[in-house]
Amino acid sequence: MMNSGTLELAFLYEVSSLAWPGSEADLFDEVVEKAVRLFGVQRAALVLHDDTGQSTCHTWGFGRNKVNVFKEQPGQNRDPVRVYLKELGSPPLGNLYLERNEDFLKNERRLLDVFSGRLANILQLHIWERKTRKLRERFRLVFENMPMVGALSFNREGRILHYNREAQKILGQDALLKDGDWFTGIRPAADFQKLLTRIWKTGQVVEPGEWQIQTPEGDLRWTLLTLVPVKQDKKVDEVFCMIIDITARKQAEEELRRLSVFDSLTGLYNRNYFEQKIRQLDEEGVRPVSVIVCDVDGLKPVNDCLGHRQGDELLQKVAALIREVFPGEEAFRVGGDEFAVILPARDRVAAQKACSILVETRERFNRGHTVVPLSISAGVGVTENPRRSVYEAYKQADDEMYRDKLQRCAAERYDVGRSLLAALFRNYPHIERHARRVKELAWRLGKAAGLSTEEIDNLLLLAEVHDIGKAGLPDHILRKNEPPTKEEEEEVRRHCEIGYRIARCSPGLTPVAELILQHHEWWDGRGYPRGLKGEEIHLLSRILAIADAYEAMTAGRPGKNVMPGEEAMTELRQRAGTQFDPHLVEIFLKLLQKENGSILSSKGSN
């Protein structure tokens, strides 16, 4: 779906395409068509004034009961918020009236102002072209201050006779002062010279053309350039030139072209261009053609557990991987989690070799720098017969990819939780050391509290995975050696909810999902994320909270020194009844005292 900025670019493109069609009636038809399509207008009227003081009125949608809407006062017979009434140009060239059965929103009125402004410019340009031959002196007084339009005139020798500020802005003062070669900044200069030669020879008005002009700053700007020969005694005496900067329109066209060809998330070609490419290869008869299709495994659980931001990053990493393996080849995102690469003049052996390189590169990528591991299923399809479409090779590759996915799923079920935990421990060893120490502390406290074997098993699992939600946190926070900022602290707090979602998506972790969510709740209700208190908090989460806090104090954390065992015991005693279950704290302290203040085999470090 396009964002608001792209929609406005599309609107500007529509407006910029409005041009004088040859008559007032045709212009009104175009205004009605665009107003209905872009704004849902149900009635329209356009009054145009000519240079004799006479006016013509064009109406649409009023039926037999036509009224002079321009003499009615808003609030009498028309609802002002449902009416758009605009004077066109200055001096007035006419009036535009638009009406519909629902209110015009503020943003729509702003766009209508742009629309009416464009209409005013078109009318003004039309009047200028009509008057150039008979009102030259008067015209010179007008064009000196024309906004948005560069205007100049020049003789047969190429010497510029008149120019306005906008022309000076576009072409530069130096170019305007050059005799005979002022147009050297226009690209391509040779073609423009040929056009001038034809105008001097035939005296005919040429259609407006799009040319690139190099500005004094060295930028290339797109312009719409109109050349009008001015005759005296049936001979071309000079040429009048109007230059309109259409760079914004061309940029809008390029953006629309890009959106029609490229995938906005990954930067690869999109499905639309993929199908165009297949048709092109079929028409050209290029053979053999190999197609590789690959699908990202586990994207849905990543989206569900870590959020769509992480899912999007995963897709971007896959796109980067494909670019690395297939430099110079055309790669496509053909579906939500499906990619394709077309390899012209490549047989099955070459395609399968490339597919193997993709798998090897993925494994190296996973070992290097990713919390969310990449898992890709791939297939190859080939067509060598010109009568067999490349699309059939794509379907063959797609079928092979699904067979690969089924075989690997049967061999090893993709468990997003275990995969994320392994990657988290691999990339952040201090988190693994913390989990290992908390697991030992929790086991001893759980035994002392009289937990059953099943409860002990769940407690050990909880201790191992309680920080799994940190897989969804930014890397710079997990590696930071200083205390977190307030904003970073808020981000860190999200790991309970992220961990809960991951566990819910992982069959082996489902029993502890709710416990992960609760492990930072406080006994007095001031914890997070839900503010549970007392025995509303699960017993295993209360046990883990004590083990987690004691390990953090005695092992140290960013910005905090390692705390001796006696001080940590004092801290637990002070927080009993507020942060921690007082009964469990009492059991834990007795356990510590019994074992001389330390129940860990070694302190380790963070």
**Where does 259-309 show beta strands of DSSP type E?**
289-296
d(CA 210, CA 19): 14
Strand-strand pairing, 376-383 and 289-296: antiparallel
pLDDT band at 602 (very low <50, low <70, confident <90, very high): very low
How far apart CA 291 and CA 396 sit, in angstroms, is 9
The pLDDT assigned to 606 comes to 38
Structure tokens at 246: 């259409």
Query: What average pLDDT does range 161-184 have in this prediction?
Result: 76
| pLDDT one-digit tens code per residue, 216-250 | 777 888 999 999 999 888 888 899 888 988 999 99
Other CB atoms within 10 A of residue 582 CB? 12
C-alpha torsion angle, residues 482, 488, 494, 499 (rounded to 10): -40
Q: For 256-270, 526-540, 556-570, which range has the lowest pLDDT when averaged over its residues?
A: 556-570
Please tell me the total number of residues recorded for the chain in this structure: 606
DSSP 161: E
Pick the CATH number of 4-131 from 3.40.50.300, 3.30.420.40, 3.30.1120.80, 3.30.450.40: 3.30.450.40
Which two structure tokens, joined as six digits, stand for 83?
Answer: 């009416």
pLDDT at 1: 41
Q: How many CB atoms lie within 10 A of CB 273?
A: 18
Closest CA to 420 of 476, 375, 364, 479: 375
Nearest-angstrom CA–CA distance, 159 and 378: 67
To which CATH superfamily is domain 136-250 assigned?
Answer: PAS domain (3.30.450.20)
pLDDT-based confidence at residue 2 (cuts at 50, 70, 90)? very low
Above 90 in pLDDT, residue 531?
Answer: yes
Cis preceding linkage at 582, omega within 30: no
| Amino acid making up residue 177 | L
Which region among 46-50, 267-271, 367-371, 596-600 has the lowest average model confidence (pLDDT)? 596-600
Cα-based distances in Å from 213 to 150, 162, 216, 280: 12, 19, 10, 34
pTM score, two decimals? Answer: 0.54
Q: Which residue has the tokens 């039926």?
A: 63
User: Which residue, chain included where needed, has tokens 């010109």?
Assistant: 386
**379, 338 in Cβ contact below 8 A?**
no
Highest mean pLDDT among 120-124, 393-397, 476-480: 393-397
Give alpha helix (H) positions in 412-480: 416-427, 429-448, 453-465, 475-478
* Proportion of the chain in helix, strand, coil states, percent, rounded to 5: 55, 15, 30
> Where residue 262 falls among pLDDT bands split at 50, 70, 90?
very high
Q: Can you give the pLDDT at residue 437? A: 95
Residue 267: Cβ-neighbour burial (10 angstroms; 0-12, 13-18, 19+): middle
pLDDT of residue 70: 56
* Long-range contacts, stretch 332-337, CB < 8 angstroms, 24+ apart: 332/263, 332/268, 332/269, 332/270, 332/271, 332/273, 332/274, 332/277, 333/263, 333/265, 333/266, 333/268, 333/269, 333/270, 333/271, 334/270, 334/271, 334/274, 334/293, 335/271, 336/299, 337/295, 337/296, 337/299
Least confident span in 10-19, 240-249, 323-332, 388-397: 10-19
Cβ within 8 Å of residue 523, ≥6 positions away: 533, 534, 537, 542, 577, 578, 579, 580, 581, 582
What pLDDT is stored for residue 132 in this prediction? 67
Q: Please state, in angstroms and rounded to a whole number, the distance separating the CA atoms of residues 571 and 576.
A: 9
Q: Of 173 and 426, which is predicted with more confidence? A: 426
Nearest to 440 by CA among 602, 261, 583, 573: 602
> What is the dotted CATH code of the domain comprising 418-594?
1.10.3210.10
User: Cα dist. 137→104, 147, 162 in Å?
Assistant: 43, 19, 11
Give me the DSSP letters along 501-551: HHHHH-GGGGGGHHHHHHTT--TTS--SSS---GGGS-HHHHHHHHHHHHH
pLDDT for position 446: 96
At residue 242's C-alpha, the angle toward residues 241 and 245, to 5°, is: 140
Mean pLDDT, residues 474-479 taken together: 87
Residue ranges of the domains in the chain?
4-131, 136-250, 262-413, 418-594
Mind listing the pLDDT tens digit for each residue in 329-357? 999 999 999 999 999 999 999 999 998 88
**In contact, 524 and 502? CB cutoff 8 Å:** no
Measured distance CA(403)–CA(401) in Å, rounded: 5
| DSSP β-bridge partners for residue 227 | 241
Q: What strand order describes the sheet that includes 94-99?
A: 55-60, 43-49, 94-99, 83-88
Domains 262-413 and 418-594 share a fold: no
HSE (side-chain half, CA atoms, 13 Å) at 165: 7
599 vs 438, more confident: 438
Specify the CATH superfamily of domain 262-413.
Answer: Reverse transcriptase/Diguanylate cyclase domain (3.30.70.270)
- Answer yes or no: are the C-beta atoms of 304 and 365 closer than 8 Å: no
The residue-averaged pLDDT of 415-423 equals: 81
Distances (CA, A) of 325 to 44, 330, 362, 469: 58, 12, 10, 32
Q: What percent of the chain clears pLDDT 90, i.e. is strictly above it?
A: 44
Out of 69-73, 326-330, 391-395, least confident range: 69-73
Identify which has the larger pLDDT, 548 or 375: 548
Mean of pLDDT over the chain: 85
pLDDT tier, 275 (very low <50, low <70, confident <90, very high otherwise): very high
pLDDT at 254 over 60: yes
Instruction: Return d(Cα 170, Cα 245) in angstroms, integer.
Output: 8
Angle at 117 between CA 112 and CA 122, to 5 degrees: 125
Q: What's the confidence (pLDDT) of residue 605?
A: 39
What confidence category does residue 534 fall into, taking pLDDT thresholds of 50, 70 and 90?
A: very high
The pLDDT of residue 302: 80
Rg (CA), the chain: 37
pLDDT, mean of residues 173-185: 69
Model confidence at 398, in pLDDT bands (50, 70, 90)? very high
User: Partners of 212 in the beta sheet?
Assistant: 187, 222
Q: Taking 60 as the threshold, does the pLDDT of residue 460 lie above it?
A: yes
Q: Is the pLDDT of residue 397 over 60?
A: yes
Task: Kindly state the tokens that stand for 91.
Answer: 């001096």
Confidence of residue 491 (pLDDT cuts 50, 70, 90): very high
Residue 340 and residue 334 in contact, taking contact as beta carbons nearer than 8 Å: yes
